[in-house]
Amino acid sequence: MNSSVFLSRLVFGLCAGLLISNAIHAEDLSASQRLNGANTRKAFAKTKQAAFASTVRLIRNGKLITHGTIVSKEGLLLTKASACVGAREAVLADGQSYPVRIRRRDERTDLALLQMMAKDKSFEPVQWSNEMLPKEGGWMVSADPKLKGLKVGVNSGTPRAIKREGGVIGVILGRDGDATGGIAIAEVVPRAAGATAGLKKGDVVTKVNGKSVIRREQVIELVGSHDPGDVVSIEVIRDERSFSYQVTLGHRSVTFEMFNRNLQMSGPVSKRKDNFPMIIQHDLPLPPEAMGGPVLDINGKAVGLNMARVDRVTTYALTAKVAQESLKTLNR
């Protein structure tokens, strides 16, 4: 068997396996709809209409920064708070645009409530799913970044809370340092927080925010108690001299992605990917600027809001329940 024939059969087998796997969990599509392109597009027609109607593109200085989800006829939007800073206008799928202003933010969920400024205009809000949590393997759909097509995938993980990561310096520590009076820095991640502040390989960390440290766990605990963006004081010994640096902490996953081959191939990821009360995970290939929009089931109902591109096959979405609870709080 020559290589081209083998490759063709391999690709066919993988595609067929994917269809069979999805069919097990997506019984709401008939066999003809799963295996026929025209019928498949027809099956998602309702979802496409819902996705385009309830998703907006948020623009700053002429560029897309994130998506938003229409949640009221009066033009209220939910979006990703950490990504919408400076948003000036919301653009609908039909090209109409409206100025926006931010009303409130919810740090717990990373959601923000925005208002589209439009007189005598009634918008089509998203329709929420009544299903508490979508089943693993079920179809998931979102609008693409330009609101011109759909991205289709499956719910690929167990619903769960995502714990807080805490900030990082961006260094790899050596062994506990009883003999040296601190902990030596074995590696400094290029362009990360520590490197930017001036830390170097071979520096011996002696204090964090004024507290003496001789064990790696002490440094990790003291630094990790702060959030990305916080500033901590790091004292080191270098060439028998003491130095003090003010380090603005970075995000763990972003800082260390250079050591992860999967993340190297992923392209840009969201800056905030942690500390969510309850998420569903899917595999839709969406870039960071497409966060904030709804993720829908095959019936066009929103099962969540896209919140974080984690890697090339993983996106986190807040569950519909969490999004609606946050909306009530923000709209008081």
Q: CATH: 1.10.540.10, 2.30.42.10, 3.40.350.10, 3.30.70.1900. Which one for 167-254?
A: 2.30.42.10
- Cα dihedral sign, 32-38-42-44: positive
Decide which of 3.40.640.10, 2.40.10.120, 2.60.40.1220, 3.20.20.80 is the CATH code for 46-162+278-330. Answer: 2.40.10.120
User: Where do the structural domains in the chain lie, given as residue ranges?
Assistant: 3-43, 46-162+278-330, 167-254
- Mean pLDDT value across residues 134-157: 91
| Four-residue CA torsion sign, 199, 204, 209, 213 | positive
DSSP labels, 182-214: SEEEEEE-TTSHHHHHT--TT-EEEEETTEE--
pLDDT for res 73: 96
pTM to 2 decimal places: 0.73
pLDDT at 233 over 90: yes
Q: Which of 21-35, 172-186, 227-241, 250-264 has the lowest mean pLDDT?
A: 21-35
pLDDT in tens, 39-49: 666 778 888 99
Distance from C-alpha of 59 to C-alpha of 185, rounded to nearest angstrom? 42
With 0-12 / 13-18 / 19 or more C-beta atoms within 10 angstroms meaning exposed / middle / buried, residue 327 is: buried
Q: What is the pLDDT of residue 310?
A: 87
